[in-house]
Amino acid sequence: MNCLICRTPYKSPPSWSKLFLYEIDSFTCTRCSGKFEESQTNIDFTHFQGTTYEGAVDSVFCLYIYNEAMKEYLHQYKFLQDVALAKVFAQKLQQAFESKEGIVVPIPMHSEKLIIRTFSQVDELLNASQISYQHLLSKITTEAQGKKTKNERLKTANLFEATQTIEDSNYILFDDIYTTGATIHHAAKILKDSGAKRVDAITLIKG
């Protein structure tokens, strides 16, 4: 097997969990995987207090920080369309979702952007991790959020709408990166306003 990042041959060590718990194999060598730094940051929701989004999100868990190795990975995966890299974090994402209970809802791309990108990076991360999910939201604007400040994002009209009936249940939003938190909170508010009991979120990266 070749590492998906550096392309050098390596052998993934066997384990009992892989045999009996259907654990996904690793697709990167230890040298490459060691460059990604796990996130130890607690997400602070204080800047959402007093806004219409207060209480929309119950918790957020981010796996990694946005260091140089992650920056290079994300560029190769998203913008150079190397979809095979979705498998790099499959094992870690599978483990993260095992500790949560709820209906997994990926943050959607606008249909026009999806045509340009050719694939949804969020969906492919879940597919590689063998995580079942439901598309319950659609993005209703093509307006870019990346260059907006935190306050500007909070004042933006909601980015999403529900496309199906939202049950009185627990939901887990999933996105590739958490920066200001506005995107997650926009999506969570739609779910909560539509009847969701609890909304947690998992992201691959804390920006």
- Tens digits of per-residue pLDDT, 65-96? 999 999 999 999 999 999 999 999 999 999 99
Q: Which helix (H) or strand (E) holds 65?
A: strand 59-65
* Helix, strand, coil abundance in the chain, percent, nearest 5: 35, 20, 45
pLDDT: which is higher, 10 or 104? 104
Which domains does the chain show, CATH number per domain?
A: 40-206 (3.40.50)
Helix (H) or strand (E) holding 105: strand 103-106
For 163, the 3-state DSSP assignment is coil
175 and 122 in contact (C-beta within 8 Å)? yes
Residue 179 identity: T
Predicted structure pTM score: 0.90
The mean pLDDT of the chain is: 90
> What value does the mean pLDDT take over residues 129-145?
88
Bridge partners, 201 (sequence order): 60, 173
Name 103's bridge partners. Answer: 171
